Amino acid sequence: MSALRLPTWTALLLLTACSMVGTTRAVVYYRRAHKYLAARDYDRAIAYYDTTIAAFSRPLASEVFTDRGEAYFFKGMYERAIADFDTALAILGEEERALADRGETYRRLRQYSKAIPDYGRALALSPKLTWARYGRAQAWQAVDSLQRAIADLDTVLMQWKGRPDISKERRLLVARLRR
């Protein structure tokens, strides 16, 4: 998963989406939820994201759904995480973070045929999402597409220099491919 952040544009979008009283409350709840997510208190984070979403007449901020999806992911509630990532994508369309997070969730569920396209679309939007490329490499390995996994690992190694664990993983894949 990507590093947690609280984007200012989301708060501004929330301000324009609701009345000032509801918006102020929603922004406060969103910030609290984000702090709990960063602190790995996923139950409280989910509760505050739920309150944030309920404060809107219509949910406009896909970031809220993506963040709550991450909280569900970290709790191991993968189906709920996927539902939130789907909602975020329905609101905003193609968005690299929600796509990559959904791809990671599918990979954890061993649904590689769904994970690989999500990773691919996320990487098409943002090629420097190295963690997503690494996740896709692992998915490629799982479906025995070793050449594609090695190609992704080569790119990962260029971006994450000095990672002996990934270098070793690549060497093992090359040896497996030569058999």
| CA Rg value for the chain | 18
Whether 79 is covered by a domain: the verdict is yes
pLDDT of residue 22: 53
| Distance between CA atoms of residues 76 and 83, nearest Å | 13
Whether 6 is covered by a domain: the verdict is yes
Domains held by the chain: number? 1
Whether 104 is covered by a domain: the verdict is no
Q: 6-15, 36-45, 135-144 — which is least confidently predicted?
A: 6-15
Whether 114 is covered by a domain: the verdict is no
What does pLDDT average to over the chain? 86
Instruction: Give the mean model confidence (pLDDT) for residues 30-53.
Output: 91
* pLDDT over 60 at 6, yes or no: no
Whether 115 is covered by a domain: the verdict is no
Decide which of 54 and 37 is more confident: 37
Whether 143 is covered by a domain: the verdict is no
118 residue type, one letter: D
Nearest to 97 by CA among 125, 78, 138, 73: 125
CB atoms under 10 Å from CB of 105, counted, come to 26
Decide which of 177 and 101 is more confident: 101
Whether 140 is covered by a domain: the verdict is no
Contacts of 90 (CB under 8 A, 6+ apart): none
Q: Burial-class residue 124 by CB neighbours within 10 Å (0-12, 13-18, 19+).
A: exposed
pLDDT of residue 26: 78
Full residue range of the structural domain in which residue 72 is found: 1-93
> In this predicted model, what pLDDT tens digit does every residue of 100-143 receive, in sequence order?
999 999 999 999 999 999 999 999 999 999 999 999 999 999 99
* pLDDT over 80 at 57, yes or no: no
Whether 13 is covered by a domain: the verdict is yes
Could you give the C-alpha distances from 81 to 18, 31, 125, 127, 157, in angstroms and in order? 25, 20, 21, 23, 29
Could you tell me the CATH number of the domain that includes residue 83? Answer: 1.25.40.10
Instruction: Give the mean model confidence (pLDDT) for residues 153-179.
Output: 89
* pLDDT over 50 at 65, yes or no: yes
* pLDDT over 90 at 29, yes or no: no
